[in-house]
Amino acid sequence: MNEMNRVTRYGIVFAIMFMNFFIPTHGIVATTFAAMAESYPNVSASALTYVTAVVNVAQVVASIGAGVLIGRKLKYKTAGIISLLLFTVAGGFPFLMGDGLSFGTLLASRCLFGLGLGAFSPIVNSTIAYLFDKENTRAFMMGAKDVFFSLGATIGNIIAGILCLISWQTTYVFYLFGIIPLVFFVIFYKEPEFVQEAQKEKIKIPKTAFYYLFLLLVVMLLTQFCWNYIAFILTDMGYSSAVIGTIVTCFTVGAVLGGVAYGFCYRFFKNYILFVAMIMVSLSFMIIYGASSSVSTSLLFVFGIGFFLSGFASVMFTAGIPMSLSLTVPASAIAAAMGLFFAFQNFGSFLASPVGQLFFKIVGEDAPMNTIFLFGLVVALLFTVIVFITSTRDAKLAKDQKQELNSL
């Protein structure tokens, strides 16, 4: 791929960045639930939430399955075309069918949509890993794809809100824009050179990779605590929903800037990038817990800083973990590792609810809501120490390897 002409390379990059833009958009249709309820009067409100829930399940299954199959039983280009077709056709299906769509058929189309969407992550991260050999350039692209991810979540919700003013079915027009990366994928995507060799090898993911994946799970769990409980805490402090929305937006701003800055941060911190990110996670919990423990109601700026740091740090991990996997996992297993990355990321977010529920059963249901942030701070500090130890080890290994190469 090093000798690839510039136009082809840019075409591939455009396609995978657009794919990552669409990954967080499966939930934008939640804005249509109230309008959708009028079309399905016999379906309960809780049952309507399956419109997004089935996508989550299908995504995780598809990410693991695609990770195992891509590059071995299934070519990267073939997998990309199939996944984009599923995303575009199944995603836009409710709009194309109009009022005659049964709820069961809607769920089936959403399941197919989720299967297509789930394959995006292993394709995007694996493509960046093999497309960019230079470590610093690869780091920059890992950050860039998370900028597109954050923008997708924000822009997708805005567009969905506008389209829903026409009808709930019109919201699904958004997914028809999947035709854009599909065209670029068909025209420009070139199969990785290592695929033929990878087909002969067994998938071997080193233990170090599972350490990175577990670390991602923990950070996603902690990050989700912020989303799950901040509205309750700020409401109790007397803030309006508009103010809460503004505070939560600080997370998105931090995530976008984190993606932009990741490449530069990696160039400076190298093996210690995850340690620095873990410090930010700890600081965010310290700030949010401190602000929520104060009797003062004039701490919005402090809450904003805490959420900004949380968003910035989370992207340091969603860009940094694939970067670490790309450096530790053999080429034959890179797609499988990236599939697991997506699964661990989503499972970590899911675990925040049962872990939070268990925590309050232990400390008491009448405990102050913000004690969950104190718990998060303790966990974050513990993992900050662990990550410092492993980062120091990795830095020493990298230094020794560099000295060996220089001595040859």
Q: What is the pLDDT of residues 253-308, one digit of tens each?
A: 999 999 999 999 999 998 899 999 999 999 999 999 998 887 565 677 888 899 99
Query: Do 58 and 118 touch, CB atoms closer than 8 A?
Result: yes
The percent of residues above 90 in pLDDT, for the chain, comes to: 44
Query: Do 145 and 16 touch, CB atoms closer than 8 A?
Result: yes
pTM: 0.85
Amino acid at 93: F
Domain spanning 207-407, CATH class = mainly alpha
Domain edges within the chain: 6-198, 207-407
Cα separation of 329 and 340, whole Å? 12
User: In whole numbers, what is the pLDDT of the chain averaged over residues?
Assistant: 87
Amino acid at 355: V
Query: Which distant-in-sequence residues (6+ apart) come within 8 Å of 221 by Cβ?
Result: 348, 349, 351, 352, 355
Domains 6-198 and 207-407 share a fold: yes
DSSP code per residue over 329-364 = S-GGGHHHHHHHHHHHHHHHHHHHHHHHHHHHHHH-
Residue 263 sits at the vertex; the CA angle it makes with 332 and 77, to the nearest 5 degrees, is 35
Which of 113 and 199 is assigned the larger pLDDT? 113
Mean pLDDT of 326-348: 88
**In the CATH scheme, what is the code of domain 6-198?**
1.20.1250.20
- CA dihedral sign of residues 362, 364, 368, 369: positive
Cα separation of 305 and 286, whole Å? 11
Identify the residue whose tokens are 């080890």.
393
Mean pLDDT of 76-80: 90
Q: Is the pLDDT score of 388 beyond 80?
A: yes
Cα separation of 387 and 186, whole Å? 41
Maximum Cα–Cα distance across the chain: 75
Cα separation of 131 and 350, whole Å? 32
